[in-house]
Amino acid sequence: MQEVKLVYPLLEQAKKIIITTHQKPDGDAMGAALGLYHFLTQLGHETTVISPTNWAKFLDWMPGSQTVIDFEAEKEKANLLINAADILFCLDFNVLHRTKNMEAALTGASCIKVLIDHHQQPQEEAFDYGISNVNKSSTCEMVFDFIDASTHKHLLNKDIATCLFTGIMTDTGSFRFSSTTPHVHRVIAALKETGIDHTLIFENIYDNFSENRLRFIGNALLNRLEVLYEYNTALMAIPKKDLVKYDIKTGDTEGLVNYLLTIEGIKLGALVIDRTEERKWSFRSKGDFDVNLFARTHFEGGGHKNAAGGRSSLTIEENINQFKTVIHEYEQQL
Ligand code: 5GP
Ligand code: MN
């Protein structure tokens, strides 16, 4: 993978460009994709964002979101676009299998592939150019840096800024996590200069849910939470029947895992959800406990030191038992 700055000369002439992100894109993935989309479109490129799957309704207000193609819903159209592309930007993921059903199409594509990402252990051999930096708060911060270091930084406008603000806000837990460096605040200042309405962005993301979702969270906190004090760990397991009862949609479970770390003294929060296709884990930690390593070792996953995810095809009960067994090994660290 060569340096990302070598991509600038390739953008001097109009190109067909595809931007993609990980499956079930979150605020950072969608913000980075759409922020870059608005920039490249202004530069005169024929640009399309393709998401591997659908995404949360609370991201639908973002400028440009109506143009995003859902790969699973429009496979034929998406494959034609991927095959015709000159350049493919892969944002906010480190390995191609994070694009789920799109992996084969991306691996097979003969175009130039560019990675911009902040996850650990990137699959460098899969990309021609790129930048991977785990010290970055978000991929949105990195897209800002990419625009800012170009000769076209004057193209930064309110639409780009709105998208990039969203991803930095969501990936830093509203500017709270240790990844929120002085540089992040300078980026936010530059984004604010474009005239974005940050209060509205907060409302669009955090005050945009259904009554059902709030009741689902209430039920989860009351009935699905187990605190393992001897390990400073909180475990929450959501059975499929809860997802059905409260009509839970993509994105409705986002943020749920964060409640676990709000209990005094808890260093590890683990959430497992019984999805139709698999059991999906989310891990969050405080301090030195490395959930990226934990997820990689035990649950086919990965992510960051303090926020990671994983998966399993075993039943939810088997997953709970597995978790409670392996957690013994970490008693000293927790
Ligand atoms: P979340 O718990 O919010 O789904 O994910 C937390 C972090 O872990 C994100 O940075 C996400 O990219 C990463 N992550 C989530 N699930 C997986 C997974 O199955 N595999 C890998 N490698 N990373 C994951
Ligand atoms: Mn991210």
Query: pLDDT per residue over 290-306, tens digit each?
Result: 999 999 999 999 998 99
Query: pLDDT per residue over 261-289, tens digit each?
Result: 999 999 999 999 999 989 999 999 999 99
The pLDDT score that the predictor gives to residue 96 is 95
Report the mean per-residue pLDDT for the chain: 97
pTM: 0.93
Query: pLDDT per residue over 121-131, tens digit each?
Result: 999 999 999 99
The pLDDT score that the predictor gives to residue 23 is 95
The share of the chain scoring above pLDDT 90, in percent, equals 96
Ligand nearest to the CA of 142: 2
Smallest CA separation from ligand 1 atom 22, residue: 302
Mutate to test the pocket of ligand 1, among 119, 238, 297, 300 (most ligand atoms within 8 A of CB): 119
Distance CA 259, CA 255 (A): 7
Q: Ligand 1 — pocket residues by CB below 6 A?
A: 22, 119, 257, 282, 301-304, 307-311
The DSSP string of 265-308 is T--EEEEEEE-SS-EEEEEEE-TT--HHHHHHHHSS-EE-SSEE
Quote the ligand 2 centre to 325 CA distance (angstroms): 30
Quote the ligand 1 centre to 106 CA distance (angstroms): 20
Question: Do residues 105 and 74 make contact, with C-beta atoms less than 8 angstroms apart?
Answer: no
Residue 76: band (very low, low, confident or very high) from pLDDT cuts 50, 70, 90: very high
The pLDDT score that the predictor gives to residue 70 is 98
Residue 118: band (very low, low, confident or very high) from pLDDT cuts 50, 70, 90: very high
The pLDDT score that the predictor gives to residue 3 is 98
pLDDT over 90 at 250, yes or no: no
Quote the ligand 1 centre to 137 CA distance (angstroms): 15
Give bridge partners of residue 294 from the DSSP assignment: none
pLDDT over 90 at 251, yes or no: no
Quote the ligand 1 centre to 13 CA distance (angstroms): 36
